[in-house]
A and B are shown apart, each in its own frame.
Chain A
Amino acid sequence: MKKMKRNLPLHIMLLSALILMLIYNYLPLLGNIMAFQKFNPTKGFFRSEWVGLDNFRYVFAMPDTLQVVWNTFFIAVMKLIMGIIVPVIVALLLNEMRCIRYKRALQTIVYFPHFLSWVILAGIMVDVLSPSRGIIGKAFTALGLEAPFLLGDANLFPFTMVFTETWKEFGFGTIVYLAALTGIDPTLYEAAGIDGAGRWKQTLNITIPCIMPIVMLMTILAMGNVLNAGFDQIFNLYSPQVYATGDILDTLVYRIGMEDAQYGVATAVGLFKSVVSFLMLSLSYGLAYKYTDYRVF
């Protein structure tokens, strides 16, 4: 009883967020019911025709759905891994810099590409990655090698997507880790320094363990993205010759929704993605809790 009274303010604190979430996040969720309907706005939600799992069956009966799911998964997981590793490494490297002003300048610069949309970047990428005119192509030619067609070769395309996405977002990703690094207790280093540990050892034994929780957090949260391969990027960069490896769920849905206006089907795919993401997130959360006793939420 006493505890309840003591905790009453906690409930009150949560109230504003709960109300906002209920209205703007939960109410719209009801829209997912469309995935099981042949929806008609004039008939509304109760009188629209129920079609059970037809919309799902339709998607999986399409000739290349399995390939598309695999492409999506492959690209998304690669991006996910690179999206954790690269920002952590860059944050650690930045953290080793002693000239504070220079470090801050670099931090600001790596943050730039995040602000440019893929519509704009795609135009620049086609030039930069061109085998004949691009920087990479010229480097290969100078070495006497055949330049790879990074955007036009179906075998390379997924890796090109991973690479360019990582390049665009790693700077923004470092923010969280840099904030975590600045939060490390300096007395720990002090103690280690007295014990004679060099900088490499300090990094290994203090820095990395200290930012591990935030790395874990970001990893677990990222697991929810296993089917988000990046619509804007791929839509603006793919081409018919790389459809085999580059077509993803979102571009598929875009075509179904945009060209055929089949919203029930599109909703079904969206719901499928949500469920898979939710399962992955729960799984990674559970595993992390079980094996490392680390609790994210």
Chain B
Amino acid sequence: MDHQRRIRTTGRASVGVRIFSVFNYIFVTLIALTCLLPMVNLLAISFSSSSAVSTGQVSFWPVDFTLESYSFMAGKPEFFASMKISVLRILLAVPLSMIVSVLAAYPLSRQNHEFGARKYYVWIFIVPMMFYGGLIPSYMVVRNTGLIDSIWALVLPCSINVFNIILLMNFFRSIPKELEEAAAVDGAGHFRILLQVVLPVSTPVLATVLLFFIVNHWNSWFDGLIYMNSPSKYPLQTYLQTQVVNRALMALEAMRDIRRMGNISDRTGKAAQIFLAAVPVLAVYPFLQKYFTTGIVMGSVKG
């Protein structure tokens, strides 16, 4: 399985290495634990009674354990409806983004002497990384391309991510030239080289970029808010934004609704929703992570 690891352990494990190893495990474990705390805190809140939460009794363990906030959520069809929209968005957007990005990264990974127009194309890709037009112009463009209130408004405008293209490009460039040259001698065109030579050895970077796209699309909320016309079409993160209200911002005028102010202190429900919304991505990550290691294939062809 782990080819690289096996090779490296053939070196003698000196005392120094062992001490380092123990220290390393402890150190990294401690760091990782600090990363868990906020999540544990959220979970504890979501399983506690709201009066225990608002009196500040809950830190890392539920107080007055209850499943109320989860059963409350089960009764909220909006939550699952918006989750469906998010899933649909990812099913449409991620494949599209992947294809477009790979197709763009391959030509950019050619050498300048080989593909002369490359040096001009590169700048076309760099400028949008630094300059952005802002909300209103973006909105106007989306409106005038007829996408308002459609799922494609969440797909097309953010389908290009230059950072991901650069990652792909750099990886493609590091692939041994001999492989491509051999294919070219056999008469293969660029499309065939990309499909049959480059992609098969690019699993690590493809998995990384795939993960980045999924995370990006899953976590975006602002575009859903401005491009969709009613809350029933919001993707999950946008829906959550509307639920997880920052109470301090409430103006006097909102107080008109004093009859229905009971909901605002619902921190337990919010915590449950935040947690549930993070679960899918956390579940995808280890799955993709497994593929990172298959990058080993790339090195082996060289030898």
Contacts and interface: CB of A to CB of B under 8 A. Distances in A.
Is B one of A's binding partners? yes
Interface string A173-199: 001101100111111011001000111
A184 to B, nearest CB: 7
Contacts of A16: 99-100, 103-104
A248 to B, nearest CB: 18
Contacts of A10: 106-107, 110, 115, 117, 190
B122 A297 contact: yes
Given A9-B191, A124-B38, A184 B299 contact: yes
B170 A267 contact: no
Given A182-B4, A190-B7, 6 more contacts: A17-B165, A24-B138, A112-B38, A179-B208, A187-B300, A187-B302
Q: Is the interface of A mostly helix, strand, loop or mixed?
A: helix
Interface stretch (A58-66, A89-97, A238-246): A89-97
Contacts of A175: 208, 211
B8 A202 contact: yes
B231 to A, nearest CB: 19
Interface stretch (B69-77, B80-88, B129-137, B258-266): B129-137
A17 B21 contact: no
Interface residues of B, number: 107
Interface stretch (A73-81, A139-147, A213-221): A213-221
A120 to B, nearest CB: 6
B36 A112 contact: yes
Q: What 7 pairs across the A-B complex have the smallest Cβ distances?
A: A28-B133, A31-B137, A185-B299, A28-B137, A17-B104, A10-B107, A25-B128
Nearest to B59: A127
Contact of A185 (B29, B101, B205, B303): B303
A213 B171 CA distance: 10
A23 B100 contact: no
Given A119-B246, A186-B299, A98 B5 contact: yes
Nearest to A28: B133
**Best-surrounded residue of B110, B130, B299 (most CB of chain A within 10 A):** B130
A202 B296 contact: no
Given A20-B156, A193-B10, A199-B11, A281 B103 contact: no
Contacts, number: 256
Interface of B: 1-5, 7-12, 14, 17, 20-21, 24-25, 27-29, 31-39, 41-42, 99-101, 103-104, 106-108, 110, 114-117, 121-122, 124-134, 136-138, 140-142, 145, 156-160, 163, 165-167, 169-171, 174, 189-191, 194, 204-205, 207-208, 211, 219, 244, 246, 274, 278, 281-282, 285-286, 289-290, 292-296, 298-300, 302-303
A14 B286 contact: no
Given A106-B29, A187-B299, A198 B17 contact: yes
B292 A182 contact: yes
User: Which residue, of B5, B14, B274, has the highest number of chain A Cβ atoms within 10 A?
Assistant: B5
B102 to A, nearest CB: 9
Given A24-B156, A183-B299, A29 B17 contact: no
Nearest to A8: B190
B184 to A, nearest CB: 9
Contacts of A124: 37-38, 41
A297 B140 CA distance: 31
Nearest to B112: A295
Contacts of A119: 244, 246
B282 A115 contact: yes
A137 interface: no
Contact of A17 (B41, B100, B126): B100
B190 A193 contact: no
A14 B104 contact: yes
Contacts of B132: 25, 28-29, 270, 274
A286 interface: no
Interface hub of B145, B170, B191, B286 (most chain A Cβ within 10 A): B170
Interface string A99-117: 0101010111111110110
